[in-house]
């Protein structure tokens, strides 16, 4: 994966048998399974094992060249301290890409979406069944009449009631749900389904001023809420009918929108792990990282998610920042996040899938290093607060 690596990954279907010879002349001493590592040189006891030009472990014994390198032969490195992180030390200037555009939906607040979707926000998990039934009716009965609307989705979640809604960190899930509701792909058409008795009331989820829509009327538009405990609702189908009826008003406004040519700099792309396997760091992650580089060079923004999973790779991210001023917030955010992760240790604990453990990445921490090495853009230009919305997902 890098010229400085002293291990390589066997990509052959089913692995390779003893005696298999590489183009370099290396001969396998034993069978190496598909997706696992092979020593390219003799690795003395205590020496660094490098992949992606990153130390992923230390040899517990002498490992001859051509040997299968697996987790039983390695000692994990200690997690990097957050002090004295490298700040903008990787210098690789890439020329900008100019003149690139895409066809998007311009929103009243200036943001641009790549799709035109009606999203129905839910304040609490217990309305999910009613909302899902209503969404199916909207898709089958109404959506065909509005050809410029791409889809209708319900924003289901497991929050909103039975929780400490006034806890100090409750602002994080509330802010997350709010920003999901305001995704640029939803065109500012915010519709909420509420039972009426939940702790997370609609006005708390989306307080006045949180919907970035320029209203030309004298009075601010009221939040469009379908309350299932309203006296007018006499049963399940009555609730569903109300949701369907309100949705049609939003569909009509969304249907009037048209795509327009906008510069690539308006694009915001979020990247998210779709499920790691032994080859994620060889195939998908580098491809997404290369794509992110191209987008950033064209002026777009790329959001790197799953920050808890790159805790052990934070030094690589700060090193790739464009300037020290951009790198420092990474360290500051981790100083603030680590106590939370320690309080809920399972968040940061190694939890690799069995298939991943059997394959190339001995532990989840090494998987995180691989992910931040191979998928992140080569140059980081900003550190954004959590729970911001992207106009596109990958």
Average pLDDT in the 232-260 region? 95
Q: Is residue 327 part of a domain?
A: yes
Residue with structure tokens 């694009």? 267
Average pLDDT in the 77-96 region? 84
If one counts every other C-beta atom within 10 angstroms of the C-beta of residue 352, the result is 19
The 10s digit of each residue's pLDDT in 99-148 is 999 999 999 889 999 999 999 999 999 999 999 999 999 999 999 999 99
Average pLDDT in the 365-374 region? 40
Q: Is residue 84 part of a domain?
A: no
Instruction: Specify the range with the lowest mean pLDDT, choosing from 66-70, 180-184, 197-201, 365-369.
Output: 365-369
Q: What is the pLDDT of residue 240?
A: 96
Q: What is the pLDDT of residue 342?
A: 53
The 10s digit of each residue's pLDDT in 290-315 is 999 999 999 999 987 766 677 777 88
For residues 241 and 363, state if they share a domain: no
**Sign of the CA dihedral with 121 first, then 123, 129, and 130 last:** negative
If one counts every other C-beta atom within 10 angstroms of the C-beta of residue 308, the result is 14
Q: What is the pLDDT of residue 217?
A: 37
For residues 306 and 175, state if they share a domain: no
Tokens of 28: 């396998």
For residues 205 and 277, state if they share a domain: no
The 10s digit of each residue's pLDDT in 31-59 is 999 989 999 999 999 999 999 888 999 99
Confidence tier at 78 by pLDDT (50, 70, 90): confident
Q: Which one of 59, 77, 95 terminates a domain?
A: 77
Instruction: Count Cβ atoms within 10 A of the Cβ of residue 221 and give its class: 0-12 exposed, 13-18 middle, 19 or more buried.
Output: exposed
For residues 297 and 383, state if they share a domain: yes
For residues 122 and 230, state if they share a domain: yes
Residue 276 in contact with residue 353, Cβ under 8 Å? yes
Instruction: Count Cβ atoms within 10 A of the Cβ of residue 252 and give its class: 0-12 exposed, 13-18 middle, 19 or more buried.
Output: middle
Q: What is the pLDDT of residue 195?
A: 94
Flag whether pLDDT at 356 surpasses 60. no
Flag whether pLDDT at 276 surpasses 90. no
For residues 302 and 387, state if they share a domain: yes
Residue 276 in contact with residue 361, Cβ under 8 Å? yes
Flag whether pLDDT at 236 surpasses 80. yes
> Average model confidence (pLDDT) for the chain?
82
If one counts every other C-beta atom within 10 angstroms of the C-beta of residue 70, the result is 16
Average pLDDT in the 268-281 region? 77
Residue with structure tokens 């490098």? 50
Number of domains observed in the structure of the chain: 3
| pTM score of the predicted model | 0.74
Q: What is the pLDDT of residue 387?
A: 45
Q: Which one of 256, 277, 301 terminates a domain?
A: 256
Average pLDDT in the 325-339 region? 75
Q: Which range has highest mean pLDDT (168-182, 244-258, 346-360)?
A: 244-258
Q: What is the pLDDT of residue 384?
A: 45
For residues 141 and 266, state if they share a domain: no
For residues 160 and 188, state if they share a domain: yes
Q: Which one of 77, 109, 132 terminates a domain?
A: 77
Q: Is residue 97 part of a domain?
A: no
Which domain covers residue 36, as residue numbers? 1-77
For residues 43 and 131, state if they share a domain: no
Q: Is residue 102 part of a domain?
A: no
CATH number where 3 lies: 2.30.130.110
Flag whether pLDDT at 25 surpasses 90. yes
Flag whether pLDDT at 367 surpasses 90. no
Average pLDDT in the 224-231 region? 93
CA atoms within 13 A on the CB side of 45: 3
State the pairing for strand pair 151-155/117-122.
Answer: parallel
The 10s digit of each residue's pLDDT in 187-227 is 989 899 999 999 889 988 888 776 664 444 344 457 899 99
Q: What is the pLDDT of residue 164?
A: 81
For residues 65 and 135, state if they share a domain: no
Q: What is the pLDDT of residue 353?
A: 44
């Amino acid at each position: 994966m890098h010229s400085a690596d002293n291990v390589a990954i066997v990509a052959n279907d089913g692995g390779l048998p003893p005696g298999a010879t590489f183009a370099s002349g290396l001969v396998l001493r034993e069978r190496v399974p598909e997706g696992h590592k092979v020593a390219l040189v003799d690795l003395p006891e205590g020496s660094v094992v490098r992949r992606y030009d990153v130390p992923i472990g230390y040899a517990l014994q002498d490992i001859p060249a051509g040997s299968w390198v697996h987790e039983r032969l390695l000692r994990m490195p200690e997690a990097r301290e957050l002090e004295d992180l490298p700040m903008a030390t990787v210098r690789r200037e890439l020329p900008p890409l100019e003149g690139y555009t895409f066809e998007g939906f311009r929103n009243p607040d200036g943001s641009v979406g790549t799709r035109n979707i009606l999203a129905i926000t839910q304040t609490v998990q217990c309305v999910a069944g009613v909302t899902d039934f209503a969404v199916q009716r909207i898709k089958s009965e109404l959506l065909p009449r509005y050809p410029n609307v791409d889809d209708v989705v319900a924003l289901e979640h497991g929050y909103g009631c039975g929780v400490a809604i006034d806890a100090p960190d409750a602002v994080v899930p509330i802010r997350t749900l709010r920003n999901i509701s305001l995704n640029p792909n939803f065109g500012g058409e915010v519709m909420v389904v509420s039972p009426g008795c939940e702790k997370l009331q609609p006005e708390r989820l989306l307080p006045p001023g949180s919907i970035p829509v320029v209203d030309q009327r004298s009075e601010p538009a009221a939040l469009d809420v379908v309350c299932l405990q309203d006296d007018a609702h006499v049963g399940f189908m009555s609730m569903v009918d109300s949701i369907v009826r309100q949705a049609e008003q939003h569909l009509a406004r969304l249907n009037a929108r048209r795509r327009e040519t906008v510069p690539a700099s308006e694009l915001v792309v979020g990247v998210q792990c779709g499920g790691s396997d032994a080859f994620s760091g060889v195939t998908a992650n580098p491809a997404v990282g290369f794509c992110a580089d191209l987008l950033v060079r064209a002026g777009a923004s790329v959001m790197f998610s799953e920050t808890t999973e790159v805790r052990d790779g934070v030094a690589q991210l700060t090193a790739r920042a464009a300037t020290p001023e951009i790198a420092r917030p990474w360290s500051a955010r981790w100083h603030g996040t680590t106590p939370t992760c320690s309080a809920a240790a399972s968040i940061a604990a190694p939890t690799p899938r069995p298939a991943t453990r059997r394959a190339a990445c001995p532990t989840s921490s090494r998987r995180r290093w691989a992910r931040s090495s191979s998928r992140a853009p080569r140059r980081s230009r900003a550190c954004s607060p959590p729970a911001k919305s992207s106009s596109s997902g990958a």
